[in-house]
Structure 1
Amino acid sequence: MNSKNLSIAASALLGSMYLDSRFHIRRDLHQVYVSAHYNFMHWRFTHEDRMNLYFRFADAAKKNPDKVSLVFQGRDYTFRELERHIVAIYMQNSPHFILSWLAIMKLGATPAFINNNLTDIPLLHSLRTSTAHLLLLDPTCAANVEPHANKIKDDLGIEIWSYGATDDPLPFCEPLTERALRMFGEENLSEKMIKGTKQHDIAMLIYTSGTTGLPKSALTCGGICTASAPMIASIASCHYITAPPPWVIHASVADRVVCGSVLFYPILGMLGIAVSWQTGCTVVLGEKFSNSHFWDECRENDVTVLIYIGEICRYLLATPPSPLDKQHKVRLAYGNGLRADIWNQFRDRFGIRMIGEFYASTEGTNSLFNPNNGEFGSGAVGHRGSLIRSLIKDVCIIRVDPITEEPIRAPNGFCIECEYNEPGELLLVNKKDAPLEFQGYYKNSDATNKKIIKNVFKKGDVYFRTGDLLKLDPEGHFIFADRVGDTFRWKSENVSTAEVAEVLGTYPAIQEANVYGVELPGHDGRAGMAAITIKEGQKIDFKELAKFVTAKLPRYAVPVFLRILPAMELTGTFKQRKVELRNEGVDPEKISESDPIYWLTNDGYCPFGRQEWASIVAGKAKL
């Protein structure tokens, strides 16, 4: 090759490298590949009449029957062992949960994944809305169910059986024992029972986390379940003609994946277990999440991939630093809920090269993904470059009134799309008969209708309302701003609870912050309040804290009140609870004496009690 051709080739190479760095072309091509792969797999499963999710497991068992599929409490379970069991579900993390899930799918029935932390009204509500006739109960969860067993059996008409690590009978139900199961033999069931599954047939009922009230059961259909696993796997193993860029996540049959979550939550079921069935990798499952033993379990089981949800990464950071922090084989952490204020701290402390943050919801029609291995894009919940945003217009961010929660429409009646870095509600296209079409909440038309918005940009279009406020920056990063309904108004300004919590989270002595607005007598809007937990062995200088937040936040966004909690109240999926805290407000009669309250004065944050509350009620306090 002569010097002229070399010069042209070098220029072309440098030009392509510049275009890629400027417009993130390879990232976008990756997403195009993932979308195409998803559509192809959906067509294939439909054409072959193998839509039921059970087929993903059956294929993996046939291909690698003696490969370890699951590790639980030191015992290995191969694909062949899991396939032999015929069992029936309502449990904590255990092989029995997975065996029950497989058995229910193999029978062509529908599992309803009930949060095993629920009791009383939320438990009865979840069971009632499921319309189930049978409840499979882990004996270790009996204490939650026993007080309500008669209502479950008599009022709801649900039969209860226990199935788990022990065969001991419970006072209110009989155990499903190995001896009883042997009566049915070990002959494999015919696939006729699960043939004919269509994309919109109900595959499972998955409940929302209940952060804003009672859990709602979301219909999760066969098309979503059966194609989600290969889609996520393709995100994790995209093939390139040349070497893949460093941010591409690669997962394989050799990987060992640890799930720091609960099986009744879909991110673990689909991102962990179902992906294992798709790729043949091994899942290392713990009974419960323990931040003090988590890394020991990773080292003992040679874990290479970590799945997180909610505040799990924050709790891992809360453990005392150790010389062993980077002594593990974990190269990838992916999931949902890693906040910007701890993102880089988490990666740097534990030496995890790659983070993959998903934005997704139980019932959503689409998702976002941010593969990240450095400062660029850290803290974002998703990324789409210019190419993908021009080719695929299936998400948008519109202006909404943060108080009424209604979209702001232009004079022509259509919604207004947000500018760059302007927070608004994320909408997802909801195409009729598409594989990911929103099917609604099970037997709850009112809640279903609230999630649908029509005539957004043209007459007749239909979108799914996520209920989340996001921002899109010029580089294509989607940044979480707040939940619709959590943003409140104070001093005629809108306050983002997520923004305030992020600032508080950077204060050295604060472990975690949960921010919300509280109503006060004689005042318009809501005053900012932060429930915080303090790091072990640390103390807060409340005068210094007031200076810290005042320097970093607009005056209207600085929390007026602080509430010190011994521990943060969380849902079963490691998300913060706000409703109860917001309802209690700052009235000392409603708040436990073990939770001291402080309010902002000219001298910093000072103790707040009945006398101070009386001054607010009397209209004498200046806020």
Structure 2
Amino acid sequence: MLEIKKVEYHSLIYQGKVWTFKDLDSFSNRIAQTFVSAGYKPGDDVALFMDNRPEFVGIWLGAAKAGLTTAFLNTNLKSSTLLHSISAVKTRALIYDSALESVVQDLLDSPQFDRSIDIYSYGDKQTHDGNKKEIKALKPLLDHTTDEPVNHRGNFSDRLFYIYTSGTTGLPKAAIITNARFFVFGYGIHKIMEMQPNDILYTPLPLYHFAGTVLGTSQCILYGTSIVLRNKFSAKHFWDDCRENGCTVAQYIGEVARYLLAVPPSEKDRDHKVRCVYGNGFRPSLWSEFKNRFGIERIVEFYGATEGNSSTVNLDNREGSCGFITVLLPQWILKKLYPVMLIRVDQETGEPLRNEKGLCERCKPGEVGQLVGLIKHKDPIKQFDGYADNEATKKKIIRNVFTEGDTYYASGDLLTMDELGYFYFKDRTGDTYRWKGENVSTGEVEAVIGAITNHADTVVYGVIVPGNEGRAGMAAIKDTTGSLDLKDLLNKMKKELPQYAIPVFIRLTSDIEITSTFKMPKVNLKKEGYDINLIKDSVFVLDSKSEEYKKLDENIYKKIISGEFKF
């Protein structure tokens, strides 16, 4: 459905090389023609496994021109989690960057991999894996394909691509992003940021994330904004990239701000043209320091989930706020205009607290509650498109919230609102925590550790560490014999989990509480954390320099509490 005007100015800039809009249009047309010629039909799903580069945009855009829906695979994933992500949608083809060859070869060796899936390597040579599965080289195919447009006409509600989110429980889920959602959020960012025709946007965030593609590259595709891409985020080169490319606007996530401030101050800190940054997860304590050190006029912090229908945005530089909804209008008017609000919930389970009528209650100013949004079908802002998995979609819907029969999207996030209507992010409910800018599913980590150690009783949760945004992972493992080899555990986790999901703390315990319903409560474990003054069990912390778990003693504990220990 998406179309690009054939103009000659820059669309994407990557490693000093420029793609014009004509380049992007031609490349994406060749992608579309290649898959149409191979027999793919509108509605088919394909998976893309590639780090940031212009071809990432060109491939999903070309697939969309042919009516295909592309699933964006997290390039940090490996083994079983990657296999799950591919199978979460009805994948007909896997397209991967040849730089990820080793990961894909391991995947193809798995007996669980669907051998009917077509494999395309974005490289020059056609190869075979160990089981003689043909791997088609995509570049030669494109060279022998016309760049004429494909005659496909979609509509506003068609699926454009899938972006994976851990949500609040379980393995990654494929969230549906429609043409409408891409357009609405792209339009919103364009207006909120007051983007100008001569603006150049810097996007070092992964394109497989909502922020990188929907909030970033939408500005290029919909409005002609030039975008500078970086393959991997680098705090050292962030401002150099902005300086060298004349960037005027940049994207961030919470960890980006902290990493940038961790770089030693330089006389070049303000030597750039960036006037504004936007994103989510900016720690309030860093707000003033960041603006003052780097000379940034405006920070636009927002709250929103990949699949959600409830978003808020801080338009006026209110320090630490992630959004604003006026309290001056009556609730019945707000319900019609923008029905997003906080409801009282059990902060541990996320379950709504209901009154004697069985209905939910709004939070008062200062109370912590879950953000929810009224679901209205055929409304691009208020509808909830959900996931490829219908059961996962149902779990994110709350019914009979304020009136019998109404339905609301449950964000799974805890926020608070002040008396003026400013929102502030507090925490996540359920079994997910955020670390290194990524959501970590405790169920996924528990499953991997359980498979490695044969310990059925393993509990994973997030704990706060001073000086770090989000929560560090901690795993309590039942080890009655004292024979668990932590070095072996770490090596095997590295093969199964992305780096950010590997627990920072390991607690070895002789017993873990199990309820009558065979659940392992995390409340007490979270309260105790890694406090060696409260815990009799042995606790170990991951030393990033030596890449090993070291026993937590009084000296290391004091360094963690003081913020001296580097994670």
TM range (shorter): 0.7 to 0.9
| 1:300–1:221 Cα change, 3 Å | same
1:432-447 equivalences in 2 (<5 Å): 432-436=377-381, 437-445=383-391, 447=392
Q: 1:75 and 1:215 mapped to 2: Cα distance?
A: 34
Unpaired runs of 5+ in structure 2?
Answer: 33-47, 434-460, 479-496, 509-524, 531-536, 561-567
- 2:477 and 2:506 in contact (8 A); partners too: no
In the other structure, the counterpart of 1:104 is: 63
Once the 2 structures are TM-superposed, how far is the Cα of residue 122 of structure 1 from its aligned partner? 0.7
Is 2:262 the counterpart of 1:318? yes
Is 2:96 the counterpart of 1:137? yes
Once the 2 structures are TM-superposed, how far is the Cα of residue 134 of structure 1 from its aligned partner? 0.3
Is 2:322 the counterpart of 1:381? yes
SS in 1 for 2:49: coil
SS in 2 for 1:155: coil
Once the 2 structures are TM-superposed, how far is the Cα of residue 283 of structure 1 from its aligned partner? 0.2
Q: 1:582 and 1:589 mapped to 2: Cα distance?
A: 6
In the other structure, the counterpart of 2:298 is: 354
Greater displacement, 413-422 / 399-408 = 399-408
- 2:169 and 2:432 in contact (8 A); partners too: no
Amino acid at match of 1:470: L
**Residue of structure 1 aligned with 2:52, choices 68, 89, 93:** 93
In the other structure, the counterpart of 1:6 is: none
Amino acid at match of 2:364: E
| 1:580–1:499 Cα change, 3 Å | closer
1:506-517 equivalences in 2 (<5 Å): 514=471
| 1:512–1:401 Cα change, 3 Å | closer
In the other structure, the counterpart of 1:204 is: 161
| 1:99–1:223 Cα change, 3 Å | same
Is 2:160 the counterpart of 1:218? no
Q: 1:499 and 1:579 mapped to 2: Cα distance?
A: 10
Q: 1:154 and 1:265 mapped to 2: Cα distance?
A: 24
- TM-superposition CA deviations, 1:452-502 (whole Å, max 9, x none): 1011111111100000010000121101111113799xxxxxxxx99965x
In the other structure, the counterpart of 1:48 is: none
| 1:473–1:109 Cα change, 3 Å | same
| 1:583–1:100 Cα change, 3 Å | farther
Once the 2 structures are TM-superposed, how far is the Cα of residue 216 of structure 1 from its aligned partner? 0.8
Q: 2:410 and 2:176 mapped to 1: Cα distance?
A: 16
1:193-592 equivalences in 2 (<5 Å): 193-195=152-154, 197-199=155-157, 201-209=158-166, 213-236=170-193, 250-373=194-317, 377-387=318-328, 391-393=333-335, 394-436=339-381, 437-445=383-391, 447-485=392-430, 504-505=466-467, 514=471, 577=501, 581=505, 588=538
Amino acid at match of 1:443: D
- 2:168 and 2:431 in contact (8 A); partners too: no
1:155-166 equivalences in 2 (<5 Å): 155=114, 157-163=116-122, 166=123
Once the 2 structures are TM-superposed, how far is the Cα of residue 278 of structure 1 from its aligned partner? 2.0
| 1:207–1:582 Cα change, 3 Å | farther
- 2:168 and 2:429 in contact (8 A); partners too: no
| 1:411–1:499 Cα change, 3 Å | farther
**Residue of structure 2 aligned with 1:84, choices 4, 21, 26:** 26
SS in 2 for 1:111: strand
- 1:370 and 1:381 in contact (8 A); partners too: yes
Once the 2 structures are TM-superposed, how far is the Cα of residue 203 of structure 1 from its aligned partner? 1.8
Amino acid at match of 1:419: K
Once the 2 structures are TM-superposed, how far is the Cα of residue 370 of structure 1 from its aligned partner? 0.5
Q: 1:583 and 1:598 mapped to 2: Cα distance?
A: 10
CA radius of gyration, larger in: 1
Once the 2 structures are TM-superposed, how far is the Cα of residue 322 of structure 1 from its aligned partner? 0.6
- 2:313 and 2:324 in contact (8 A); partners too: yes
Greater displacement, 150-159 / 471-480 = 150-159
- TM-superposition CA deviations, 1:30-89 (whole Å, max 9, x none): xxxxxxxxxxxxxxxxxxxxxx3x13xx2xx24xx0111110000111111111111263
Q: 2:559 and 2:290 mapped to 1: Cα distance?
A: 33
SS in 2 for 1:320: coil
| 1:103–1:413 Cα change, 3 Å | same
Q: Which has the higher helix share?
A: 1
Once the 2 structures are TM-superposed, how far is the Cα of residue 226 of structure 1 from its aligned partner? 2.8
Unpaired runs of 5+ in structure 1?
Answer: 1-51, 237-249, 489-496, 506-510, 522-570, 608-623
- 2:372 and 2:410 in contact (8 A); partners too: yes
Q: 2:351 and 2:96 mapped to 1: Cα distance?
A: 41
Identity %: 36
SS in 1 for 2:471: strand
| 1:91–1:519 Cα change, 3 Å | closer
- 2:81 and 2:171 in contact (8 A); partners too: yes
